[in-house]
């Protein structure tokens, strides 16, 4: 397989990208599989995974071994190594997950790929923000838009996340994220219970000052 180096916009990060994959249509029937939290979906190159329940994240690594989170996906989303040229490319469960194997993707590919690309662009733009505080606030708003449920105090982010999970998304450390989250909590902008975050009503207003 031939590889080419693709330089990202800030010219500080290079990632090896595989040549475009050739799509084949397998003859096997639809099947459903279950995975545990932090397990990886097998890289079936001729197949799409449709998430029936649970949450997964897609990831790659730079040439120095640093992890890059490309997206976070939930019920109804479609993920697959077919939807990225990055190598390595892995799909990890953030909760217990049930997925359906979709062998014939002809009528579903465009919207799934478009959504995938849009989310990737959003996350990469967040990662390249100039300070950790800005990155953190923006990723929390992004998570609330995608996974948020209205609550009495504001928006509950309905996804179980550790400080380490958040740190890996924005390219920071757990210690730094914990310190920043504690400061936001002291300011009355969010609350945290059993790994679930709630952004209070004034949180979005505070982000306007970034």
Domains and CATH numbers, the chain: 3-109 (2.60.120.10), 132-207 (1.10.10.10)
What contacts 196, CB < 8 A, 6 or more positions away?
Answer: 156, 157, 158, 159, 160, 161
Query: What global pTM score does this model have?
Result: 0.65
16-75 confidence digits (pLDDT tens): 444 444 344 444 456 899 999 999 998 876 778 999 999 999 988 876 777 888 889 999
150-172 confidence digits (pLDDT tens): 999 999 999 999 999 999 999 89
Q: Is the distance from CB of 69 to CB of 115 less than 8 angstroms?
A: no
Length of the chain: 210
Q: Give the integer Cα–Cα distance in Å for 16 and 13.
A: 10
179-196 confidence digits (pLDDT tens): 999 999 999 999 998 889
Q: Where are the beta strands (DSSP E) in 121-207?
A: 148-150, 154-157, 190-193, 196-200
Q: Give the integer Cα–Cα distance in Å for 17 and 85.
A: 6
Residue 127 dihedral angles phi and psi, to the nearest 5°:
-60, -30
């Amino acid at each position: 397989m031939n590889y080419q180096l693709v330089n990202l916009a800030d010219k500080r990060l290079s990632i090896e990208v595989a040549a475009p994959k050739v799509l084949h249509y397998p003859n096997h029937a639809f099947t459903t599989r279950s995975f545990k939290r932090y397990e990886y979906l097998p890289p079936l190159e001729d197949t799409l995974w449709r998430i029936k329940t649970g949450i997964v994240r897609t990831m790659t690594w730079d040439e120095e071994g640093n992890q890059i989170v490309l997206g976070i996906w939930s019920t109804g989303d479609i993920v697959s190594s077919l939807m990225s040229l990055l190598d390595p490319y892995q799909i990890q469960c953030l909760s217990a997950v049930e997925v359906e194997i979709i062998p014939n993707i002809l009528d579903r590919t465009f919207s799934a790929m478009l959504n995938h690309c849009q989310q990737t662009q959003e996350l990469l733009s967040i990662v390249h923000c100039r300070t950790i505080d800005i990155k953190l606030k923006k990723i929390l708003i992004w998570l609330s838009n995608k996974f948020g449920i209205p609550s009495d105090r504001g928006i509950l982010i309905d996804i179980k996340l550790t400080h380490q999970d958040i740190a890996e998304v924005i390219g920071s450390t757990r210690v730094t994220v914990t310190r920043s989250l504690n400061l936001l909590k002291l300011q009355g902008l969010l609350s945290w219970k059993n790994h679930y975050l709630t952004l209070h009503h004034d949180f979005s207003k505070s982000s306007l000052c970034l």
